[in-house]
Structure 1
Amino acid sequence: MEQPTATAQTRGPLRTEPVETVEWHTGGEPFRIVPQAPPAVTQPGLTVAERRTAAMASDEVQWTRALLCGEPRGHADMYGAFLVPPDDAGAHLGALFWHKDGFSTACGHGTIALGAWAVASGLVPASADGTTDVVIDVPSGRVTACVRTVGGRVADVTFINVPGYVHARGVEVPTSRGTVAVDIAFGGAMYAVLPAARFGLRVRPEDVPVLVAAGREIRDALNAAGSAGHPEDPRLSGVYGTVFTEEAGPPAHRPDGTRRLHHRNVTVFADGQVDRSPCGSGTAARVALLADARELRPGDELLHESVVGSVFHARIARLTTAHGLPAAVPAVTGTAYATGTCRFTVDPDDTLLPGFVLR
């Protein structure tokens, strides 16, 4: 059995004050919001991308992340964010996304949850009926959560991401189950994308353990080979996750000449975490690939279904270029719901601080 791990398990507590959180989920994927971030990432004068670098270098921030991700307060698939100041007054807030292994550069399901929370909490005023833009700075750039309200309640949120583009196609990756070809695309983070059928598998819960192992192999092999370098910002380099896909049915042709595609996916990100939602930034990467292949055109819709059956509705908001490459700005619509609030405490005599991860 794999041994429990924790970033700072042998250290005394690096903080003893309680940590207040607001709990949400988007499409079944948890999102733990921490309104009061550790001081190391809230100091003035930094961009959100620079705050991510500061977070990775800070013992206190890493300890707090491990406290909130690890058991007994979290679990191996926990996800959340520290709220931080935005880059400038053009955004409502900034977010540092985290998971059990570190800090990610983008998060679509988290952006959807943050938009819903910002409107539901009154942080960003909204009319009872209409759409309100919540602008958020994240490490990969500035994104927008378009929050639609009906009767004073949040109905859904459309996540407008940074431009996504194809990084490489047909990259051969050796694995323990044979060599497979994958495509690599950027959707705020780099993703390797391939049909699950290439491993003789399906996007279904019973195949998840094998998909996790395969996803980790693919990610590690590509990163060891340096296959996903960002053309301008090395902080955005490296494959973050592996997206396994399958078609749920043939495209549906609509009366106006557009099409509706229905695909399933499961995204294995970081070091073997499974996204319960259809994965917002992974969906953005998928939109970039489908747009590049002209399988998804402006006006078409992609129903992107997760391994637990939740669905994002994705489309091309506009075509553009990024780093001299054809790119697509995706619009991904989903729903998020509040699940509670927490006040996590730290007992300085606890010998398992900040926690552990058990697979």
Structure 2
Amino acid sequence: MQLKSYISVVGCHAEGEVGDVIVGGVLDAPRTCKTMYEKLVYFQTQRDDIRQLLLNEPRGRSSMNANLILPPCDPQAEAGFLIMESDEYAPMSGSNAICTATVLLETGMIPMVEPVTTFNLDTAAGLVGITAACENGKCKAVTFDNAASFVFGLDIPIEVPGLGTVRVDVAWGGMMFALVDAASCGLKIDNSHGPKLVEVGERIKRAVQSQYVPIHPENPLIKGVTNFCWTQPSEQIQDKLVAVNTVVVSPGRFDRSPCGTGTCARMAVMHARGELQVQQQFEHRSIIGTKFDCQIRATTKVGEHDAILARITGRAWITSFKQVVLDPTDPFPSGFRVPDQWHVPSDSS
């Protein structure tokens, strides 16, 4: 059989969020791409067939991501990777970084050193430091030191069809996030509120996109909100702050993990409000109860913005080894989407 594509993938999830890792069958971007962001643009504009093949049905589903391991552009990094999501190429993703680091170590692509392995990953959002706790050949936990996170605005009034004025925080955590307290919209982060959280979250996000366009001060090509985070107030439990969130990922589903970049964005908001201090322990929980252990390791500046440097720890597990193929006679080379799973809510209430 002659195949048009033969892609080797290691299945993986981090705290419930699927982040499969492509380990073979895809060539690097051209040498003219000098940064990981330029590689991102190349795959987005020239090789998006890979993302569509892997993530759309019948091979994929709405609640999964794919990570492409590539040679790094930064000489300080051992590997580079690009993050493919259902509707975008994310400059950075925490759960996907944890998946990628785990796969690199447990498959031997990066030598595992016990009890701790350290290395850097090159991403389109900048260099990300990895510290992996390792034991008996297993990567038991991954800590990543993210690039700087910062707030664009707090309590921004956004007019949302069917809801009126909603107060929105906008922050960068490796992706652009709009954050809203669920209670302000009469909702609670709970499975029983799931369909409404998705529908209203998507609606607010599209309203933000039409009314407020943040631009990253160090890369003006990164602009506009692409993710939405529902929050609930934090509470002090013993020696740490604990809070619940859920991120609504287009086209309308929950991030199963606490969302690494969303956590970084929320930590920047909390710090800006005086709710989270440097070195303070913070536990962020997902809608399914999984958690990331977090802290602000330092503060910095990004352009004119006060920023934080977040450190987040989570776990990942390899779930499969698979070869994804494309038969030249397959009628769905780009896959397809059906609205029972690929939900896109209407603008009306």
Deviation at 1:253, TM superposition (A): 5.1
Correspondent of 2:43 among 55, 71, 86: 55
The CA distance in 1 between the partners of 2:184 and 2:97, in whole Å, is: 31
Secondary structure of 1:65 counterpart: helix
8 A Cα contact 2:16 2:256, kept in partner: yes
Mapped pair 1:227 → 2:207: no
Confirm whether residue 207 of structure 1 aligns to residue 187 of structure 2: no
Residue aligning to 2:18: 30
Q: Identify the match of residue 174 of structure 2 among 159, 181, 188.
A: 188
Matched, 1:356 2:336: yes
What is the CA distance between 1:37 and its match in structure 2? 5.9
Local SS of the residue matching 2:164: coil
Deviations 1:3-47 (A, max 9, x none): xxxxxxxxxxxx713111011000100011112363362546521
Structure-2 residue corresponding to 1:153: 138
In 1, are the aligned partners of 2:20 and 2:99 still within 8 Å (CA)? Answer: no
Written as runs of structure 1 = structure 2, the 5 A alignment for 1:1-359 is 16-36=4-24, 38-39=26-27, 41=29, 43=31, 45-58=33-46, 61-129=47-115, 131-175=116-160, 176-247=162-233, 250-252=235-237, 254=239, 260-358=240-338, 359=341
Output the amino acid matched with 1:293.
R
| Partner secondary structure for residue 345 of structure 1 | strand
C-alpha distance in 1 between matches for 2:321 and 2:177 = 32
| 1:216, distance to aligned residue in structure 2 (A) | 1.6
1:251 match: secondary structure: strand
CA distance in 1, matches of 2:119, 2:249: 26
Residue-by-residue CA offset, 1:34-92 (whole Å, 9 max, x unaligned): 1236336254652110011111211xx21121110011111112211111221132101
Aligned residue number for residue 9 of structure 1:
none
CA apart distance, 1:151? 3.6
Q: Give SS of 2:80's match.
A: strand
Per-residue CA deviations over 1:313-344 (Å, capped at 9, x if unaligned) read 11011111111222110001100000011111
Contact 1:37/1:84, CA 8 A, preserved across alignment: no
Q: Secondary structure at the match of 2:61?
A: coil
**Segment of structure 1 superposing worse, 316-325 or 184-193:** 316-325
Q: Relative to 1, partners in 2 of residues 1:37 and 1:183: Cα closer, same or farther, differing over 3 Å?
A: farther
Verify the 8 A CA contact 1:107 1:280 in the aligned structure 2: yes
Residue 112 to residue 42, structure 1, CA distance change in 2 (3 Å): farther
Mean Cα displacement is larger for which, 65-74 or 83-92? 83-92
Contact 1:215 1:241 in 2 (8 A): no
Unaligned runs of at least 5 residues, structure 1 = 1-14, 255-259
Aligned residue pairs, count: 336
How far the C-alpha of 1:263 sits from its partner, in A, is 0.6
**Structure 2 Cα separation of the partners of residues 53 and 152 of structure 1:** 36
CA RMSD of the aligned region, Å? 1.7
Mind listing any 5+ residue stretches in structure 2 that lack a counterpart? 342-349
Residues 181 and 230 in structure 2, CA contact (< 8 A), matched pair in contact too: yes
> Counterpart of 1:211 in structure 2: which amino acid?
L
- Contact 1:203–1:244 (CA<8 Å) still a contact in 2? yes
* Distance in structure 2 (CA, Å) of the matches to 1:197 and 1:42: 48
Shift of 1:101: 1.5
Task: Report the AA paired with residue 86 of structure 1.
Answer: P
SS class of match (1:239): coil
